[in-house]
Structure 1
Amino acid sequence: MAGGDGGFAGAAEGLNQVRSQTQWINQQVGAGKLALDPEVAERAAKRVEEEVRALAKLLRRTDQITRLTGLGDYPDGQQLAQRFKDKAQHPDSGAIPLVNELMKVLMEQADAFRAAAKDYRSTDDQIAEDMQRGIQ
């Protein structure tokens, strides 16, 4: 494996970008700077979950990558099959671990959207209470 990255350096960078986005959302929600309309937040969360389901479907087919056949019993064929398997399963940079981590981060992002909706509801409730106190 060239550079030990399994050929997925770009995918790992993309995962880091999604992770950064999720952290930013959580930070903004935690600081009270992001509150989303509950309908908008739920649509965003569901869209993210659709992506997770698509990735899960893809992972169910990864056994085809890890059980590559047809390259023969010669050492060269076996080495090539092993390289494909390594690219799929390498713990630090293989396709399967990267997709699993992306799914985890996306689920955290869906949770962050829902947390932003809770803040919106809390703010809305607080405003309603304040207005009611002012009327009385």
Structure 2
Amino acid sequence: MTHKRTWPAFIVVGWLAILAISVWHANMPASSWFDVSKVYVFDSVEGETPGMIADRTIRKSFHAQWVVTVYRKGARGFFPYCVSTGTNSYDVDDVLPDRLDLDFWTWPVRCQLPEGQYQVRTRWIINPVGYAMREVRANSNIFTVRPKIQPGAH
């Protein structure tokens, strides 16, 4: 008789295990695949592309859609000034260039920034195979573009 009672218990335990795995998969944070801890943009001069430092970690390969928006400071706050979008595949051995700059970050768009203050805001919608989409956001520091000093100007 004990065999007849244990089969339903095994079935229930099996379904609970499947449910637990499904809940765990659904709740895995985006950082299980991708994490961005720093986006820093250096001050620059009009006509020069600002240099950057970014610290990101790719833990698992994935495909993502991304949006980079460069916000410019106006009289009432920051407003979108330059936008670039795209899609990429990211692999754990991918690295950023040694001389990272804003043109690389916003490729294929080149943001021509006049004198002012700016902030770069980046959003990745990652689509890991077999999992629900996840989102990662990173904002840079506020940086300044100074006017270009013309030769002979005092």
Larger radius of gyration: 2
Same fold (TM over 0.5): no
Q: Identify, as 1 or 2, the structure richer in helix.
A: 1
TM-score by length of 2: 0.26
Q: TM-score, normalised by structure 1?
A: 0.28
More strand by share: 2
